[in-house]
Amino acid sequence: MDWFQQLGFLCFVFYTKTPYPEVSITLKQPNQFCFALNGKTRCITLHKNVNWPCVVKIVADIGKVQVKLIKKVLGLWPTFGTLTTTRNIQIDYWKCELLNSFDVTPNAKFLLFKYQQNLYNHVYPGRHIYIKANVNGQVVSRPYTPVWPLVETTEYGIISEDTLCLLVKSYPNGKLSRHLCSLNQGDLIEVSRPQGSFECWTSKTNLILLAAGTGITPMLPIIWNALHSSIKKYNITLLYFNKKETCIIWKKYLDQKSAAYSSRLTVHYILSEEENSMGDTKGHIDESVITKYFPTLNEESLNEHAVCVCGPPGFNKLCEK
């Protein structure tokens, strides 16, 4: 571990030596800083107090983690403090309370949660967490993919680094999705540690993203990271399938982002239940759609592409075909 400081902040740098390290960071007291890397927790009693949230930068490929803590009072410290404990802990779920919820389509909501403790729980693009809640006396748990808007926006207030953001579609008979979409401010859920090992998209620079409905959720962090990568220049084509135009989640953000990165991000909206006023195809995923949007794609050129698919099981099967 390295550390350095300036008058206003101090930075810890960890070299985990494993790609995609699991990272969670807590500030238990204004001078009690704990970090869990790959399940191993260390706590530091800092020389003086710092503010929350921290700013975390991760170079996932090489496992480097940098944590910036803002000092409460300007000044140089003679030392960062003292390392107090090292132990292995296994926290399964953390409590979160709903901060706010916003309609994004007639049946999907954008939900903002705050961890009850000062916690930064890093979820890599393409990975997910489990949400657990008590629904009418029964404990229900389902996977969800944390997201954030693709563009800087104040539409949802200021979203800080430690906010957990979910896009959830409410199904008429769905146990947990209906529960989540009917939560009130301050209501509690439980959130698991990140799950999954999805990272294959980083090895290729041409990305084909096929998403249907809320299957857009894993694509949003992938798009954001791919466009903002300082290591590689990715070219992305997203085919986004929905029933109607009103079902398209965050169309305006996707349009803004593709306008800003017109040579690197192309988005096509494909609708199945109404005529397509956006000039794209009406229909479902099939070979003709793939041939239309990727005319030069063949078995050989496919090797140069990473293809990410997410939607209901029927959609995923058709994509594989």
CB of 156 to ligand FAD, least distance (A): 16
Closest CA to 224 of 180, 281, 159: 159
**Pick 168 or 183: Cβ nearer ligand FAD:** 168
Indicate which single residue of 24, 26, 177, 237 sits in contact with ligand FAD (rule: CB under 6 A): 177
β-strands 235-242, 265-271: how paired?
parallel
Sites for ligand FAD among residues 129-168 (CB under 6 A): 140, 142-145, 166-168
**Pick 63 or 218: Cβ nearer ligand FAD:** 218
Helices (H) and strands (E) in the chain — how many of each?
6, 19
**DSSP symbols for 216-281:** GTTHHHHHHHHHH-SS---EEEEEEEESSGGG-TTHHHHHHHHHHTTTTEEEEEEESSS--TTSS-
Burial grade of 36 (CB within 10 A; 0-12, 13-18, 19 or more)? buried
Q: Measured between alpha carbons, how far is residue 71 from residues 3, 210, 217, 309 in Å?
A: 14, 44, 35, 43
Binding mask 203-222 for ligand FAD (x = CB under 6 A): -----------x--x-----
Q: Which residues make up each annotated binding site for FAD?
A: 142-144, 167, 169, 175, 177, 217
Residue nearest to ligand FAD (CB): 174
Only one of the segments 31-39, 76-84, 176-184, 227-235 lies at the binding site for ligand FAD (rule: CB under 6 A); that segment is: 176-184
Asked if 312 touches ligand FAD (CB under 6 A), the answer is yes
**Residue 189: DSSP 8-state:** E
User: Can you name the residues that pair with 241 across neighbouring β-strands?
Assistant: 212, 270
Asked if 128 touches ligand FAD (CB under 6 A), the answer is yes
User: Cα–Cα distance between 25 and 41 in angstroms, integer?
Assistant: 9
- Residue 8 is which amino acid? G
CB of 199 to ligand FAD, least distance (A): 14
Asked if 248 touches ligand FAD (CB under 6 A), the answer is no
Indicate which single residue of 34, 36, 54, 176 sits in contact with ligand FAD (rule: CB under 6 A): 176
Asked if 190 touches ligand FAD (CB under 6 A), the answer is no
**Pick 198 or 294: Cβ nearer ligand FAD:** 198
Residues that bind ligand FAD (CB under 6 A): 128, 140, 142-145, 166-169, 171, 173-178, 214, 217, 312
